Structure 1
Amino acid sequence: MKMSAKCFRLVFRWLVINWYLKYRVRFCRYSLLSLTFIPHYCSMKANQWKEYFIFTKKERIGIITMLIILTGIWFLPAAFSPNDQTDIQNLEAFKARIAALQVKDTVAELNANDAYVERGNTIAVSLFYFDPNTLPASGWKKLGLQEKTIATITNYLDKGGKFRKPEELSKIYGLRKTDYERLAPYVKIEGIYHREGKLPVEMPVQHEQKHIKAIDINKADTIMFIALPGIGSKLANRIINFRQKLGGFYSVDQVAEVYGLPDSTFQKIRTKLVCDSKDIHRININAATLDELKVHPYIKYQVANAVIQYRNQHGNYTSVEAIKQVQAVTDEIFKKIEPYITVH
């Protein structure tokens, strides 16, 4: 609308200017409105007035063309204006489609909890009360667990592990949270009974505390670490990852350096840990590259680079103690890395 009004004003000014130039109209400075037009001839005959309203063929074509253009400009915005009603209908249809997809996903998730599919074979899932310490592999399969998870539980029990309460089932590595929440109400361990229509309730029975056999921190797997009090699947995996990066533990106290392990938890399990360091992986400092040295948790890049530079300048190290000649290797660093280096 604003564009069409602007064009109309421009056309109107163009017509006035052309009329003024054609008939030599002049402005009167002393008129009240300062826009009084005085013709060149004050008196005219009747037929002379008709000249103002008579146009040539070209002028008539120009006027008609201009009127068509102005009319088109006037109605063009209305022709391309958005249809609000159509937009609202499209929005409602889009919302309905999204809602249908959400319902479809919810139904698919519920169906996934009711059946366990393995290699194209559908196995019906049935829920029943069970003791995780005595349930065979076939029973776990009926409950809908995956083969890998069942193998993890079996290995844990075979190595002396035992579930003392239902919450410990959630610590099994690979057990999905949805599976645990689905099975937890049906866990029935010795000393725990189920009231009809209610969740499991612990019976006030005195149990003798089970003695946990000490484990070798250089040979234990995640299942054996999880059997320790306060150690879950995450901490167990962190301990093993730290052991692999080091090349093995040479002291039980190194377990306390594992990220996220509280000191209180370490003090509880310390007496249940032993360390056999005869199989520790050692790095030959006369042949190791910079990349091999810097990845060790106890050897930073600056120390690794200094060790390589010193070897390039002075030749191979004659003994492990010779690395102390490198300025970057302090007594504290040497004490930590000594079990992990050797010379050939």
Structure 2
Amino acid sequence: MPMMMKNWLTNTFGFSKREYNGLLYLVIVIIVVTFIPYFYRYYLDSKSEQGANDKLALQALALVDRYNKKRYNNTRDEIEGATAKLPIRYFEFNPNTITEKEWQQFGLSSKQAMSIVNYVKKGGKFYKAEDLKRMYTISPEKYEALLPYVSIPKAEQFEKKTSFTYTKKEAVILDINTADTLELDKIKGVGAAFARRIVKYRERLGGFYNKEQLFEVFGVDTPKFNEIKDQVRIDMEGIVKLDINKVEFDDLKRHPYLTFKQMNAIIQYRKQHGPYKSITDLNKILILKPET
């Protein structure tokens, strides 16, 4: 494009190369001079706008700062006003019964007073004046100021309960095939947990036929057995016997001495050969051990 213009000017007006270059520079200067005012105004407007934004931001920060100061002053005035409404006044009191407002009359804040009242409501007790030291909301200085006014009437004083009362068990001899859990609990060395285990295992067996079976009860070791063996006896009349000709699989499955296969074999033998004629017929079931 510049070359076409140069040829046109040269052919039309007879411009030399030097004259053409001079004309080109002149045109550039005219363009620059023409647009400088526009750029200058744009620059000034942008700068003014930025300055206005900065000014608005500073004004907003100032407003926030004034608001925070006002809120702080209002809160402080409220606290001071509340304190002013309740002038410090000491009087004789029972810390187990006075109200939140009465605590505030001693110069405690509402929060401090509420903490002490809640402590009492939840079962906390003041047995003596010195117990006020336990309350972290009461400063040492305030404790010293309150101490002369504490009055806990003897008729209303709370007795501290002992942790437990131990009752010595008397010597007994019980039949472990008939005794219930309450009776077994009377045996020295047998607590409620052991009593429940003995009864539960006895129900599975149908009854104990010798004392050594107590070793099969969970938790009974040699020292425990030696401790209780002379306090128990075995009455065979208390053993619950099973009718081998009527017993079903569900009756046998709880028995601790029989496996699943042995239980099934007992039932199947009866179905195949008819009722058992004597207990010795069980010896014909090969998977049953003689001691079973």
What range describes the TM-score normalised by the shorter chain of this pair? 0.3 to 0.5
The structure whose residues are more often helix, as a share, is 2
TM-score, structure 2 normalization? 0.44
The structure whose residues are more often strand, as a share, is 1
Bigger Rg, which one: 2
TM-score, structure 1 normalization? 0.38
